[in-house]
Amino acid sequence: MIKPHGSDTLNPLFVYDSAKHDELLHEAENLPSLEVNSAAAANAVMMGAGYFNPLTGYMNLADAISVAETMKTTDGLFWPTPVMNITNNIEAIKGKKRIALRDPNVEGHPIIAVMDVEDIEEMSDAEANSITKNIYGTTDMEHPGVNTFNNLGRHVVSGSIQVLSFSYFQTDFPDTFRTAVEIRNEIAERGWKKVVAFQTRNPMHLAHEELCHMAMDRLSCDGLVIHMLLGKLKPGDIPAPVRDASIRKMVELYFPPNSAMVTGYGFDMLYAGPREAVLHAVFRQNMGATHFIIGRDHAGVGDYYGPFEAQEIFDGIPAGTLDIEIFRADHTAYSKKLDKVVMMCEAPDHNKEDFVLLSGTKVREMLGNGIAPPKEFSRPEVAQILMDYYQSTK
């Protein structure tokens, strides 16, 4: 199986030993505590689950700046985005060396991790602005990722962590949330050797489904891991349970047995376009995928990124930095001429009118009015789940 990034074996930071887990939980109840923000909680979940291997904790300011500028930590580890614990209030933890981190997303704010504090630094506006520009390509506060990052605070709390909880992901999505460890184990159990991963934060329409089939066929893959984001999204995005139900129905009806896994991970969307595409590749390698589909405007939002920037960024990554291989995909759509879904770049004799193309706004409007999109755009069973959701929100 493909090696994880940065080490020979996967080193998740979750404390699996029950006795040690109980001991740490008991200790944590008496430690100074910090209620972290959702972004920092998601980072803890990802480190606990092994997706952020080989990180051992939150980055300090020097590492965060180095990663933003060069995609490497100060000691040379390749990493595409800062993994930080930023807060606006350090009164309860000032001068403390060991603290409990509390979950902002679960009632009662239970302990999510124990942290050995390396440093507490203040990030200047200039440093925050530089990190923002390098990671997001813009400082426009209308960008949802930029807005979130710049409202987290200015105190950077760094140090190693031991993770004690997977937040709400394990309880709210028991059939879907999987750690990198669990996915690696299931890939091995299924006997898959060549595995392609597909990232989604949306329901999958026919074009997405066919793109997965295309990648599997062209790469001669044994299996597909559909890996959906289960964390915080921007307003208006479809909730994870609805996406989950629609994707499971699609796989049940339109994929052969033992060819696709439906899984999810606990992370908040950054909307960082190219940089987030590289991050996505890192944690797909950590979960055992050999290949990863990156399509048009991967992890983008609005018009902040060019359509293929998320693919082009990989051209600048030195060979051997990542073991996972990228399957570069163009926009896929149903061709009326060929009576099938194709990559638009592979149909040079087509005009726009030769494809079935619907805007997201138009699709949402149709679903909200109880009108199923055409079968060339969406499977009817998937459309029904989405119509039921939109009708319920009226």
Burial group, residue 256, by CB count within 10 angstroms (0-12, 13-18, 19+): exposed
Distance CA 15, CA 335 (A): 51
| Side chain identity, residue 21 | H
Residue 251, CB-side half-sphere exposure with 13 Å CA sphere:
21
Write phi, then psi, for 50 (nearest 5 degrees).
90, -5
Nearest to 264 by CA among 234, 290, 242: 242
Where would I find the H helices in 262-340? Answer: 274-286, 309-312
Strand partners, 94: none
Distance CA 132, CA 94 (A): 26
Distance CA 220, CA 230 (A): 29
Catalytic amino acids?
A: 201-202
